[in-house]
Amino acid sequence: MVSIGVRRPYILFGGIVALFLLAVMGWAQSYIMLLLAYCLFQIAMNSAYVAYQAFIPDMVDSKRRGMASGTKGLMEMLGIVVFIYPVSILMDRYFSNGDRIWIGGSLGILALVLLVTLLLTLILVREKPSGFHELNSLKKTLINTFKIDTSKNRSFIWFLISRMLVFIAFTTLQQFSFNFLTDVTGVTNPAEATAQFSIIGVIGILVIIWPAGRITDRIGRKPVTITACFIGTIGITLILFSHDLSTILVASGFIGLAVGSFYSANWALATDLVPKNQEAHYLGLVNIATAGGAVIARLIGPVIDILNSHYAGWGYRAMLLSCVVYLIAGSLLILKVNKK
């Protein structure tokens, strides 16, 4: 008898529900229905994604998880780069004439990609046969979802805090780049400058993300993670002391290299730290730390406005300095993390 495994049922269920909800979003006639469908879609996709992420600690030897994490990150970035352009073209046509067929086309592309990758995962991935797993009640499951044995997993807690701080820094730069370029550099076309800033950053990520994974298998997770934070600090410092667009674009390249290096090394470290037979649970908590950092990053917006209203440009200086502090703190906390 062939076992379907412990991960693929969640991937199958989450994928099917997500496909259905994509259709609901295309059909939705009200904002409330669209919002509800979108929220449920996020739940379904994250249910599948957490199980999918656990394949690395399940199936990859610890000595090669850096390469696996780098490959994972590279494929995710390539997916964004390849599909964002056709979807943006279809959405531009929708905004120009209001014909909902273009929304259907955009969602159709997403549905097709999801369906193909879902089938490939279910057919090609071979999980190890699973033994009996106790089925807990819904109440017990919800209680245990955010539970961490702090005495046995202290390094994992330091890791979560470190990752959250670093993602606060990177998300802050991404979130407020348009405002910074508009208010500080005086460029005539801030949208174009922001696009250039993003493109160069993405190129930096694509260039380094896979090699960084290979390097982290050779020299370790923490050295690459700390180096990534240092490179990111260099990029932010360039922006802090120069408002020239050319210099800022060079800084974007440094930041892209930092993000790519950090993504590979830090995720490999995460897979090393998760307890045996609890991989998906703990990697789900890693995703919460990542998303939490992205949410917290946006809270600095009012602070930027208040400082700028009193002293021109000081809000952005505070923003950049805070990003430097986040990166330094994140790299120092990584020193407290000890692999098993």
Q: Is residue 27 part of a domain?
A: yes
Residues 84 and 224 in one domain: no
Q: Is residue 134 part of a domain?
A: no
Amino acid (one-letter) located at 173:
L
Residue 159's domain comprises: 144-334
Residues 255 and 155 in one domain: yes
Give the span between the Cα atoms of 173 and 156, in whole angstroms. 26
pLDDT tens-place string over residues 44-99: 998 888 888 888 888 888 888 888 888 888 888 888 878 877 887 887 787 777 77
Give the span between the Cα atoms of 79 and 178, in whole angstroms. 24
Q: Is residue 294 part of a domain?
A: yes
Give the span between the Cα atoms of 121 and 83, in whole angstroms. 19
Residues 304 and 213 in one domain: yes
Amino acid (one-letter) located at 151:
S
pLDDT at 332 over 60: yes
Residues 123 and 148 in one domain: no
Residues 232 and 200 in one domain: yes
Q: Is residue 133 part of a domain?
A: no
Residues 175 and 65 in one domain: no
Give the span between the Cα atoms of 109 and 238, in whole angstroms. 39
Place of tokens 């199936």: 59
| Number of structural domains found in the chain | 2
User: Which of 73, 77, 68 is CA-nearest to residue 203?
Assistant: 77
Residues 120 and 173 in one domain: no
How far, CA to CA in Å, does 75 sit from each of 47, 137, 166? 20, 36, 22
Q: Is residue 2 part of a domain?
A: no
Give the span between the Cα atoms of 290 and 160, in whole angstroms. 8
Tell me how far the alpha carbon of residue 107 is from its chain's centroid. 21
Residues 188 and 273 in one domain: yes
Residues 281 and 173 in one domain: yes
pLDDT at 303 over 50: yes
User: Which of 56, 74, 69 is CA-nearest to residue 215?
Assistant: 69
Q: How confident is the model at residue 163 (pLDDT cuts 50, 70, 90)?
A: very high
Q: Is residue 263 part of a domain?
A: yes
Give the span between the Cα atoms of 306 and 309, in whole angstroms. 5
pLDDT tens-place string over residues 251-297: 999 999 999 999 999 999 998 888 877 777 788 888 888 888 888 99
Select from 94, 128, 162 the last residue of a domain: 128
Write a three-state SS string for the chain. Answer: CCCCCCCHHHHHHHHHHHHHHHHHHHHCCCHHHHHHHHHHHHHHHHHHHHHHHCHHHHHCCHHHHHHHHHHHHHHHHHHHHHHHHHHHHHHHHHHHHCCCHHHHHHHHHHHHHHHHHHHHHHHHCCCCCCCCCCCCCHHHHHHHHCCCCCCCCHHHHHHHHHHHHHHHHHHHHHHHHHHHHHHHHCCCCHHHHHHHHHHHHHHHHHHHHHHHHHHHHHHCHHHHHHHHHHHHHHHHHHHHHCCCHHHHHHHHHHHHHHHHHHHHHHHHHHHHHCCCCCHHHHHHHHHHHHHHHHHHHHHHHHHHHHHHHHCCCHHHHHHHHHHHHHHHHHHHHHCCCCCC
Place of tokens 């460029």: 187
Percent of the chain having pLDDT more than 70? Answer: 91
Select from 101, 128, 155 the last residue of a domain: 128
Give the span between the Cα atoms of 168 and 267, in whole angstroms. 16
pLDDT tens-place string over residues 164-219: 999 999 999 988 888 888 888 878 888 888 888 888 999 999 999 999 999 999 99
Q: Which CATH number does the domain housing residue 240 bear?
A: 1.20.1250.20
Residues 231 and 151 in one domain: yes
User: Which of 228, 233, 230 is CA-nearest to residue 257?
Assistant: 228
Q: What's the pLDDT score for residue 252? A: 94
Place of tokens 């690459």: 224
Q: How confident is the model at residue 123 (pLDDT cuts 50, 70, 90)?
A: confident
User: Which of 328, 327, 316 is CA-nearest to residue 240?
Assistant: 316
Q: Is residue 185 part of a domain?
A: yes
Q: Is residue 3 part of a domain?
A: no
Q: What's the pLDDT score for residue 129? A: 58
Residues 56 and 199 in one domain: no
Residues 87 and 159 in one domain: no
> Which pair of tokens denotes residue 306?
């208040």
